[in-house]
A and B are shown apart, each in its own frame.
Chain A
Amino acid sequence: MPDIQFMNRIKILNAIGLLARLAAGGMFVYAGVIKLLAPAEEFAYAIETYKVAGPALSLWTAYLLPWLELYAGLALAAGIFTRFNAVLCGGQLLFFEALLAQAWLRGLPVTSCGCFGSGSSNSLEYEFFQNLVFLALTFAAYRYGRGFSADAALEEHA
């Protein structure tokens, strides 16, 4: 007979994983959509203010990154290749953290971080710590995100 306490623990972890997947994936979908519905140049200008890429590279990044955010976010939320997409989202977050940290340390006048489009933005410090929360959610999605996922559903039917 299975240990009831153990089963309950699994259920709780699955629920945590599901919530983490929906929160982190949803955030990526939102960030992607808001950028995709605005001119790419707007996001490109935000990237330029970090002073790590020139105008041409910034523009290409602005064209491509929002699609990556959208697709990875959707797949993570739905639980399709959960671990791969959790790593992809986590990798993006680490990259954003590095950008924010260098701008923060260099004291660059970044007025819009570009995180959720360039309409409004919080301070670099705020965005840095906010990303840490999302990073923790992505980790939880990686670790416990198999519950209620497309991955698990297809495994059961295999």
Chain B
Amino acid sequence: MINVKTARLAFLGGILVFVSTIAILLARQFSLGPVRPAPGFRTFGPADAPIMIEEYSDFACGACRAAAGKLEEMIRVYGDVIRLQLKHYPLVNIHHWSLDAAAYADCAGEQGKYKEYAALLFENQAKWGEAKEKPKEFEAFAGGLKLDWKEMQACSAAPETRQRIKLEMAEGDMKNLNSTPTFFVNGKRAVGPMQLMEQARKFDSILKAAHSRHVPPSGI
């Protein structure tokens, strides 16, 4: 028979388990875990920029294509006050070639042409996105940009490349992503280009607040 002391200890242990489980689940919900940075070729802007944007995107998604244009415009307008980190979140269930596209884009990045390759993928989405067999466009884009295709093939098949993308997908899953593009602007979620533009309206006040933190009050 369980004595009173054991029962009390078990109750206390149960409370600890319950409270710690809730704390972990809440911390996950609010994305309090360590942030895995995107590789250098997918990161733009200074590390101390007051506006940090993290984008989870899929090369075969139409809204991501629209968002890419908006982001470019935003960076052109605001310049160095924005730091952008692009992360892959290929929706592999509906976009059969997205994961490959992400891998090839990363491999183009290893050869210094991520932006250019990504732009071609978005521009020609309709051509490769719905292909039944492996799209020839991947090689054609590489040829057009004078990239080493053999090296890209080896890089795309390498476990490290696939692992990096799958970890970003897992990270997205932990953040409960269910559509692309999803942005985190200074940690605040925005789903789709419209919500991103909505957040962009607050950029001026973010910049004012950042500026007032850095400028010491005048006069004594």
Contacts and interface: CB of A to CB of B under 8 A. Distances in A.
Interface of A: 33-34, 36-42, 45, 67, 70-71, 74-75, 78, 80-81, 117, 119, 150-151, 154-155, 158
A126 to B, nearest CB: 21
Contacts of A158: 4-5
Contacts of A40: 170
The dominant DSSP class at the B interface is helix
Contact of A41 (B9, B13, B170): B170
B34 interface: yes
Interface in B20-37: 20-21, 24, 27-28, 32-34, 36
Given A74-B16, A74-B20, A39 B174 contact: yes
B54 interface: no
Q: Which of B9, B13, B20 has the most CB of A within 10 A?
A: B9
Given A38-B33, A38-B36, A151-B9, 16 more contacts: A36-B24, A36-B28, A37-B24, A37-B27, A37-B28, A37-B32, A41-B166, A45-B167, A70-B20, A70-B24, A74-B16, A117-B34, A119-B34, A154-B12, A155-B5, A158-B5
B17 interface: yes
Contact of A39 (B12, B24, B27, B167): B167
Contact of B13 (A42, A70, A81): A81
Closest 5 CB pairs of A and B: A37-B33, A39-B170, A41-B170, A80-B13, A36-B24
A150 B12 contact: yes
6 contacts: A36-B24, A70-B20, A71-B20, A75-B13, A80-B13, A119-B34
A108 to B, nearest CB: 15
Nearest to A37: B33
Contacts of B16: 71, 74-75, 78, 80
Interface residues of B, number: 24
Nearest to B3: A158
Contacts of A67: 21
A119 to B, nearest CB: 6
B58 interface: no
A150 B9 contact: yes
A154 B167 contact: no
A70 B24 CA distance: 10
Contacts of A45: 163, 167
A154 B5 CA distance: 6
A103 B17 CA distance: 33
Contacts of B21: 67
A42 B12 contact: no
Contacts of B173: 39
Nearest to A149: B9
B3 to A, nearest CB: 8
A22 to B, nearest CB: 15
Contacts of B28: 36-37
A80 B20 CA distance: 15
Contacts of B132: none
A80 B8 CA distance: 10
Nearest to B166: A41
Contacts of B55: none
Contacts of B174: 38-39
